[in-house]
Amino acid sequence: MAEQRKHFYNDHTLQGYLLAGMVALELLLVGLLLTYLYLEINGLIEGHLYRLHNTHTASWPELLSLLGSAVTVFLVVNLVALYLAHLVWGRYVKHTIDLFSAGLDRLVALDFSEPLPSGPGHHRIIELLDAWYRKEQERNRQIARQQECLNSYSGKPLGNRERQELQAIVAEYRRLLTEG
């Protein structure tokens, strides 16, 4: 438990769109709710206007029923909106984790045959993995070139100049191997 994750990954673009959508929805819902309540309460008042002195009619149950149904609809719409936001966010996180896992699997298998699937709209961690993948891809190409150079010296008699060239190739080969 001592090594808990201290860095939380966010996607400010997607989370910003979700937040803006939720705020817009809340403003729309509150506006619609207030308009609905205004119209309905006005209707209740109009209906009971000439029955003020009648002690047998109680408008409180009607008013409380109206408020209860309005608040219930408000809460249900909010819960549905939160659930949809949860689905969108969960799908995005699953897609990001799937891409990241596939990229790591290819790196573990040392498969540098083709670039990783990335592009706009991906999380920053996928972009970082892609950049690292491209760097490793280039490093492997350089290692392969150094191996070809080393193989070209196989079985040749070595003079002083060839030994110096071979030492430079071996030094570069070692640097490339320890760089990763």
Q: 78 and 24 in one domain?
A: yes
Number of domains in the chain: 2
- Given a cut of 50, is residue 30 above it in pLDDT? yes
pLDDT of residue 58: 65
Residue 74 CB-density burial (10 A; 0-12 exposed, 13-18 middle, 19+ buried): middle
Tell me, yes or no, whether 96 lies in a domain. Answer: no
Domain range for 67: 13-49+59-88
**Do 116 and 90 contact (CB within 8 A), yes or no?**
no
Distances from the Cα of 96 to the Cα of 7, 49, 86, 90, angstroms: 17, 61, 15, 10
Q: Residue 1: pLDDT band by 50, 70, 90 thresholds?
A: very low
Q: Is 124 found in the same domain as 84?
A: no
Residue 36 pLDDT exceeds 60: yes
Q: What is the pLDDT of residues 10-27, one digit of tens each?
A: 677 778 888 899 899 999
What are the pLDDT digits (tens) for 41-97? 888 878 777 766 666 666 778 888 899 999 999 999 999 999 998 898 888 888 888
Distance CA 43, CA 45 (A): 5
In this structure, the answer to whether residues 116 and 73 fall within a common structural domain is no
Let me know whether 72 and 136 are in one domain.
no
d(CA 58, CA 65): 12
